[in-house]
Amino acid sequence: MKPTAVTWVVLGLVSHDVRTGYDIKRVVDRSVRYFWAASYGQIYPELKRLEEAGWIAGGGAPHGGRERREYRITAAGRKALRDWLHGHEVRHELRDESLLRLFFADALPRAEALGLVRARRDGFARVLTALRALDDGGRDRDPPFVNLAYRWGIDYCEWEVAWCERQERRLRRKA
């Protein structure tokens, strides 16, 4: 099976616990979405592909009046996940629309372009607030490497806010 952009997100989350597609999306929204996007439109087809490949197995799980399908990782899926985890390639694909706007901001009057820097700062400040709100005082009870990724998110957002502030000051001096 050729992995997609969400293969490892879905397989990794199913390796932690038996989950429905809805469960996966809920966990994604509170965790990995801050650094790896996965939409409902990607999750459900990926669950089907993973099941067809034998990496997960699904079964019915009634919930109220609705039939839900729960998935668990198989031995083949666990092996595929471990093989991927032991990989050494580092692919970093950054798609940052705010940074793209800054790249082209010379097309705007200076005051409007500086507004883009402030908007970027404000956006990262909002994400930082949201990440900090996830910390209910028990983040240290998370598995250590889940906690590591969480702390990376906080550090990254703090850096972005400070960077935007420094760059706005620098650009104002040049005006």
**pLDDT of 104-135, one tens digit each?**
999 999 999 999 999 999 999 999 999 999 88
Question: How do residues 47-105 score in pLDDT, each as one tens digit?
Answer: 999 999 999 999 987 666 677 899 999 999 999 999 999 998 887 777 889 999 999 99
**Nearest 5 degrees, angle CA 32-CA 116-CA 153?**
20
Q: Which CATH code for domain 7-85?
A: 1.10.10.10
Q: What is the mean pLDDT of residues 141-166?
A: 93
Q: C-alpha dihedral over 148, 140, 17, 9, to 10 degrees?
A: -20
pLDDT of residue 64: 66
pLDDT of residue 33: 84
pLDDT of residue 65: 65
Confidence check: pLDDT of 45 > 80? yes
Q: What is the mean pLDDT of residues 153-159?
A: 96
Q: What token pair was written down for 120?
A: 């970027």
Helix (H) or strand (E) holding 2: none
Rounded CA-CA distance 107/96 in Å is 19
Helix (H) or strand (E) holding 80: helix 75-85
User: What angle do helix axes 7-16 and 40-52 make, rounded to 10 degrees?
Assistant: 70
pLDDT of residue 174: 83
Rounded CA-CA distance 104/131 in Å is 29
pTM for this predicted structure: 0.78
Closest CA to 34 of 103, 133, 102, 162: 133
Q: Name the range with the highest mean pLDDT among 11-25, 91-105, 134-148.
A: 11-25
pLDDT of residue 90: 80
Q: What is the mean pLDDT of residues 156-167?
A: 98
Rounded CA-CA distance 57/77 in Å is 9
- Of the chain, the end-to-end C-alpha distance in Å amounts to 54
Confidence check: pLDDT of 25 > 70? yes
Rounded CA-CA distance 72/74 in Å is 7
63 DSSP 8-state letter? E
pLDDT of residue 137: 66
Q: How confident is the model at residue 139 (pLDDT cuts 50, 70, 90)?
A: low
Rounded CA-CA distance 12/6 in Å is 10
Burial tier of 39 (Cβ tally within 10 Å: 0-12, 13-18, 19+) = exposed
